[in-house]
């Protein structure tokens, strides 16, 4: 290898390592500085064998501490609301809602990473190689609860762009975010769930 080629290779490696380090810094900055946000998302779920794929779309909002709202709009409606005390899931087609205490439902989950919890206490962070135009961070729960095997967070610069989750059954989900507004002024009622008239409630 010539001196010139060797220098180029060294610079490329250094740039790659810097991007990885920046991804960890971007995640820490996001958790420290972003107290609320709203975004659109596209969720792609692949079966463990990779033969089946399901695509959903909707909106996502969160406000620290421990308040969040996932509103799926396509292909089926579903609402998931964390109000700080409980997590509510409502299926309009079934006209049925379920709820669990936040401490049981959240733990070291992707929602906890974005909306609350303690990043350094709950997760072990590791920079990953850049891929698909994004810088990636692996976040592993320090106390595994079987809910998911791995979690990756993708940043484009300092902007949160994607989440990749592999659950306890090997199913892979990816959420790609768009139109994200950080530190948005979100009404408190966005994080309250009111049981619709006539709906069934299953409490866990």
DSSP 105-162: H-SSSHHHHHHSS-HHHHEEEEEEEEETTEEEEEEEESS--SSEEEEEEEEETTEEEE
Sign of the CA dihedral running 24, 131, 38, 90? negative
Residues in a beta bridge with 80: 70, 89
Which pLDDT does position 178 carry in this prediction?
95
> Is residue 47 predicted with pLDDT exceeding 70?
yes
As given in the structure block, the two tokens for residue 3 are 């001196």
- pTM score: 0.81
Calculate mean pLDDT across residues 19-46. Answer: 86
pLDDT band at 22 (very low <50, low <70, confident <90, very high): confident
**Phi first, then psi: what are they for 27, rounded to 5°?**
-65, -45
Report the CATH number at residue 32.
Answer: 2.50.20.10
Q: How many domains does the chain have?
A: 1
Average pLDDT, the chain: 82
Range of the domain at 115: 3-203
Cα distances (Å, whole numbers) of residue 33 to 22, 47, 90, 115, 119:
16, 35, 31, 12, 13
Per-residue pLDDT, 139: 85
Contact 70, 80 (CB under 8 A): yes
Going by pLDDT thresholds of 50, 70 and 90, the confidence category of residue 116 is low
């Amino acid at each position: 290898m010539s001196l010139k080629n060797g220098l180029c290779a060294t610079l490329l490696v250094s740039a790659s390592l810097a991007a990885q380090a920046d991804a960890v810094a971007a995640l820490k900055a996001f958790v420290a500085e972003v107290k609320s946000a709203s975004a659109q998302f596209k969720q792609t779920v692949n079966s463990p064998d990779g033969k089946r794929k399901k695509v959903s779309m909707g909106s996502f909002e969160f406000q620290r501490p421990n308040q969040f709202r996932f509103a799926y709009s396509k292909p089926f409606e579903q609402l998931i609301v964390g109000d700080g005390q409980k997590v509510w899931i409502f299926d309009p087609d079934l006209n049925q809602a379920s709820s669990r205490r936040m401490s049981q439902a959240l733990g070291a989950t992707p929602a906890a990473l974005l909306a609350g919890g303690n990043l350094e206490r709950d997760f072990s962070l590791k920079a990953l190689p850049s891929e698909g135009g994004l810088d990636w961070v692996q976040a592993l729960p320090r106390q595994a609860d079987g809910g998911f095997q791995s979690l990756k967070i993708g940043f484009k610069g300092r902007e949160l762009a994607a989440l990749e989750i592999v659950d306890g059954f090997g199913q892979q989900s990816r959420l790609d975010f768009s139109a994200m507004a950080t530190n948005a002024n979100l009404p408190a009622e966005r994080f309250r769930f009111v049981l619709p008239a006539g709906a069934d409630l299953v409490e866990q």
